[in-house]
Amino acid sequence: MLKLSLDALLTVDTIARRGSFAAAAKELFRVPSTISYTVSKLEEDLGVQLFERFGPRVELTAAGAELLKEGRYLLKAAGDLERRVRRVASGWETEFTIAIDSMCSPCALMDDITAFYEAADQTRLRLRKEELSGTWDALLERRADLLVGAAGSGPSGGGYTAEPIGTVSFVFVVAPKHPLAQVAHPLSKSDLGAHRAVSVADSARQLQARTVGLLFGQDTISAPDMQTKYDFQRAGLGFGFLPAAWVGADIAAGRLIVKEVEEPKPDETLYLAWRTGEDGAALRWWRQRLRGSASVGRLLEPR
């Protein structure tokens, strides 16, 4: 008979993460004596010590660390199994993740989210921001179930279905105090090469990262997302292209200056995308909803 149980593994995992029996009891909504008994019983059954006690603080022993290293795989597998079983029973995913490019606004989906919870109150919804190829990477690596506003064509190799939902235009802007603001002629590569660019760092983990609009050897500030790039450019820390929908009010107010460049950035197509062959109820709901109501205009609402 097995001496390990998923409940005991969950208890050990929680103690290890929280650092004490009392903190684990609080997270698991149990009394500390129950946590202590579960660990003592498991240590007795296995014949090993799992934790070193230092007053209220505890640390895993080598045996405990090995147990938890493998045990977390079992906990994840059990969680995945529960979700699959519930999905078979109800047709609705227990968790659904939407990845959205950082040039788009998750707040544009608030009405959609409200309507979704009215239809599927048992599905946990997660939204995450990704950059450049990171959106496609999140889909193919199963960190996301649906892409909204994914920029550029998807990677080769397939495994996904993509539908265009519109295009986004870009303008080259600098702050009024930036040296390039005073240049009268269209900006050439040599003009740009003498100054610092602001770029967005690609969030891809497996796919090849994209670099957009940078010259070889260009001095560059790498921002974590489009919002930071926008803020940096408004502050005069560098130059670059920004979505036209973001900067209209800034241009009108003189906070940003549009400059003509010899090599403008072409419009980009934005996509709705999902893994081919998947057809859960939540995925069907979001595809139908966004096909009918999604527009680049509202996704790119001014900041």
Rg for the chain (alpha carbons), in Å?
A: 25
Candidate from 40-44, 280-284, 285-289, 296-300 with smallest mean pLDDT: 296-300
What is residue 214's predicted lDDT score, i.e. its pLDDT? 55
What is residue 27's predicted lDDT score, i.e. its pLDDT? 92
How would residue 147 be classed by pLDDT, with cut points 50, 70 and 90?
very high
Catalogue all structural domains in the chain, each as residue range(s) with its CATH number: 6-90 (1.10.10.10), 95-163+273-299 (3.40.190.10), 170-258 (3.40.190.290)
**pTM of the entire predicted model:** 0.66
Mean pLDDT for 87-114 is 87
Between 3 and 229, the more confident residue is: 229
Mean pLDDT for 150-164 is 87
Mean pLDDT for 50-75 is 92
Candidate from 90-94, 283-287, 293-297 with smallest mean pLDDT: 293-297
Amino acid letter, 3: K
